[in-house]
Structures are given as structure tokens and as C-alpha cells.
Structure 1
Amino acid sequence: MKKLILLVGVLVLIAGGAFIFLSGDAINALIKTKIEQVGSDVTEQSVTVNRVDMKLLKGAGTINGLVLANPSSYSAPSVFSLNEITLDINLKSLGTDLIVIDQIIIDKPEAVVEFTENGNANIKDLLEAIKKNTASDNTAVESESEQAEPIIRVNKFVLAGVSLTVDLTKLGNKSHQAILADIQLSNIGGESGMPASQLGAELVKQALSSIWQQAKAEQADILKEEAKDKIKEKAKEKLGGLLDKLNG
């Protein structure tokens, strides 16, 4: 019984560490509700989930149709959405002080990064909100309730096949699409792990940070290529004008 209660605690880690014993559809409903509540609190944007399906005895589960809304000052309806998250939990670790999730895979998520003329971007704003809303978790002394939470480490975290839209319309450009190489992060929570209530926010922060870094690189490459094209076009115009004079 103790191990099963611990397992339920692990399965709601993304939802902020709720730690109670339920079964069947009640667990799925709890996880869905907690992900939406905690995700919205941490990011300051609406988070919705379509469906949760946990297979407790197998130490596995899926979360489907998660959508993170875009801040209201941006155009796209969402900044991040995904088809499926799968979790692979190390059952042998459930009886220990450190619970290990062998792997979390987010399959084919879609991300929209909107840049503005003043140098801001939607993901940048979200990361600042997450940093602000989790700052106390990093510095506060643990309470008795926090000490009772399961301590978690994620060995491997994969964002597979991210479909990225880089929207540069506010910079006088257009939207560009790219499929990113798989983003793989390891040892989330460190060797000693971290409380379940903090781990979900850390996973979101690291996922968005990785996408943000690649989006900035894509933006730089796009603008560099456009600048080269403009230089080539001007050179052709000057050469054409010179030839016209020579032939005239």
C-alpha cells in the first residue's frame, strides 16, 4: 500500500506534488485538475489538458492535449501545445527516499515564438513569470508538509520533433517554420532530486528555455540570410545600372 501511495504521488508531480491515494478515473481527474491549476499559477497563463490516462501497476502513463495559452499581448492563441506526454517510472525506486522517473517524452509538440519590435518575445515573458513565481521555492526553508513530499529525479526528458514557428511579422518580416532536432535533457532534479511540487515547474522552465535558445538561433539565421539577399539584390541593381550606362 505504501508503494502505491508513493506511485500516485509521483504521477501527480507535474501537477505540483499532490500526494493522496485515489484510484481509477479519480486519479486521472485529479492530475488533470492539478496540472491546469498549478500550470496556470506558475506561468500566469491558461493551461488546459484534454485527457490523462495513468496505468499505475505498470508505472506508466500519458497526458494528452496539453495547451499553454499565449500572453494576451501576442497574436497566436497558444505558445505551446502537445499531443502526448509519456512517463516511464522506475518501479524499483518507489520504496526508496529518492523516486526516479527513467524517462519523460513529449512527442511532436508545437511552439510559437513571437518576437516584438522592442526585443521582447512571448516565451521570454513566460520564463520571467516562471522565475518570479518559483523564486520562493528555491529560497524558502522547507516546511513539514514540504518535507513529506516525494523527492523526485528525472533521468531523461525528451522533446521529440518540436514544430517551431518563429513569428517575425512585428519586425517587418513574416512567420517561418522549422522542425527542431530532438531536445534531450538529463538528470533533472540533480543527484539528490527535488520535491515533487517544484519539479513540474522546473521541467516547464527547462523545456521553454531550450525552445527559446533555438528560436533565437533560428531568428538570427533568418535575419542574416535576409540581409545577404538584400545585399545581393542591391549589388545586382547597381551592376544593372552600370551596364545600362556602358551600353547607352
Structure 2
Amino acid sequence: MKKLIILVGVLVLIAGGAFVFLSGDAINALIKTKIEQVGSKVTEQSVTVSRVDMKLLKGAGTINGLVLANPSSYSAPSVFSLNEITLDINLKSLATDLIVIDQIIIDKPEAVVEFTENGGANIKDILDAIKKNTAGDGTPVSESETGKTEPIIRVNKFILAGVALTVDLTKLGNKSHQATLADIHLSNIGGESGMPASQLGAELVKQALSSIWKQAKAEQVDILKEEAKDKIKEKAKEKFGGLLDKLNG
């Protein structure tokens, strides 16, 4: 039971190393606090959570209303927000040295990617911050503040389902565009040997945002290509429209 509480307390977006043995509503409050504190530190932006509800005996739980704020130099209030994260923990693995999370699902999150004139973007700034704040953490943290060995965790499946993406190109003289991304499936996070719990949260955030960033860049290219085609057609119509009308007449 204590091992499971430790696991849940560090699982999603939690990179802290201090583990407290709690039960009932107290563990939910601890998880909420850790997500907000450590998530904010790693991303350098405010991270807030509405509610945490862990069903420890069932090896499952939910995290609701998580919001990652946008850097202050951008317009939208948040870069990433979600209604619900669900966790499916392999209870049998709790008796081993490698804790296995069968599945983490983030359902219908919303992401806003704002591009700048110089080729930058809000999500890129956050990814740079994550890289900076996790640099040098490749060596596993062997001891927590309580002196206990830190859990080693592997996530078999990590799913971002139905991401509602806003691609904001207003700083490029365009406008905001909406798209729903195909489900993003990531697997074997932590590798066969797993990784210390203190590193898992940052790795999940980095991989999730990296996947969204990759697709946002592809959307940007497609949008700008279509706009360029429309402008060429419009100019051709302005230049040759009268001639075509005469020929058709």
C-alpha cells in the first residue's frame, strides 16, 4: 500500500523526490500540490490542477483540470489544458523493482501554439525550459529526502486522445486556425529498465509537448502553402481576369 502511494504521488508531471506516507484525501492533496509545484518549476510557467481522485486499491485514478499557462510574451491564457488524465497501474508490478504503468490517457486536451515573426513559438520556449531544467538529471536519483530508494517506473502506453489544436499565425500576418489532431500514441517511456520517478514526469511532459509541436509545425506549413496558392490564384485572376472574360464572351 505504501509503495502504491509513493508511485501515485510522483507519477504524472511530478518530478519531486520527497515522499510522504499518506492516505485518503491527504494523498490527493499531496499529488495536486506536487504537480503544481514541480510542473511550474520544470516548465517555468504556472501549472494548476482542479482535482485529483486516486483509487489506490484499484490501481487507478484521475487528475482533472490541469492547465499549463502560456509564457507572458504570448496572447492566449494557456498553452495546454485538459479535462482529465486517467491512470491504469499494473498492480502485479508493485511487488517488483520495476513499477509498470500499463496506460496513461489524456482525453481531449487543448493546445494553443503561437508562432512568432522570428520562427519561435510558445511551446518551443517551454520545451527549451524543460530541457534546461532537466539537463544533468540523466544520473538516477538514488535517494529521496526520506532516505528511501526512489521507485523505478516504465509507462507502456501514453495516449493523447483528440488534441484540439489552435495554430495562431496572427504575428505572421495570418490568423488562428483550428484542427483536431489524430490520437498521439507513445510507448515504452522509460525504456525496458524504466527510469526514476523523479525524472518520469518531466519526460512525459517533454514527449507530449514535442509531439504536439511537431504536428503544429506541419499544420503551419500546410496553412501557409494554401495561403500562398490562394494569393497566386487571386493575382492571376486580377491580371488575366478581363482577358479571360473577353475570350469566354
TM tier, shorter chain?
over 0.9
- After superposition, the C-alpha distances for 1:13-58 in whole angstroms (9 at most, x for unaligned) are 7353542210011000000000000000000000000000000000
Distance 1:17 1:92, change over 3 A: farther
Distance 1:18 1:88, change over 3 A: farther
Distance 1:144 1:27, change over 3 A: closer
Contact 1:9 1:18 in 2 (8 A): no
Distance 1:247 1:144, change over 3 A: closer
Distance 1:158 1:17, change over 3 A: farther
The Cα of 1:235 is off from its aligned counterpart by 1.1
Distance 1:137 1:247, change over 3 A: closer
What 5-or-longer segments of structure 1 have no aligned partner? none
Which one is further off, 229-238 or 95-104? 229-238
Which one is further off, 1-10 or 52-61? 1-10
The Cα of 1:5 is off from its aligned counterpart by 4.8
Contact 2:10 2:201 in 1 (8 A): no
- After superposition, the C-alpha distances for 1:73-106 in whole angstroms (9 at most, x for unaligned) are 0000000000000000000000100000000000
TM-score, normalised with respect to structure 1 = 0.93
Distance 1:153 1:86, change over 3 A: same
Which one is further off, 141-150 or 215-224? 141-150
Which one is further off, 209-218 or 134-143? 134-143
Equivalent residue for 1:12? 12
Distance 1:143 1:30, change over 3 A: closer
Distance 1:46 1:13, change over 3 A: closer
The Cα of 1:237 is off from its aligned counterpart by 1.3
Runs of 4+ in 1 over 6 A off after TM superposition: 140-147, 244-248
Distance 1:218 1:57, change over 3 A: same
Contact 1:16 1:200 in 2 (8 A): no
Structure number with the higher helix fraction is 1
TM-score, normalised with respect to structure 2 = 0.92
Equivalent residue for 1:28? 28
Contact 2:11 2:197 in 1 (8 A): no
Distance 1:177 1:2, change over 3 A: closer
Which one is further off, 236-245 or 199-208? 236-245
Contact 1:7 1:56 in 2 (8 A): no
- Paired with 2:103 and 2:17, the residues of 1 have a C-alpha distance of 18
What 5-or-longer segments of structure 2 have no aligned partner? none
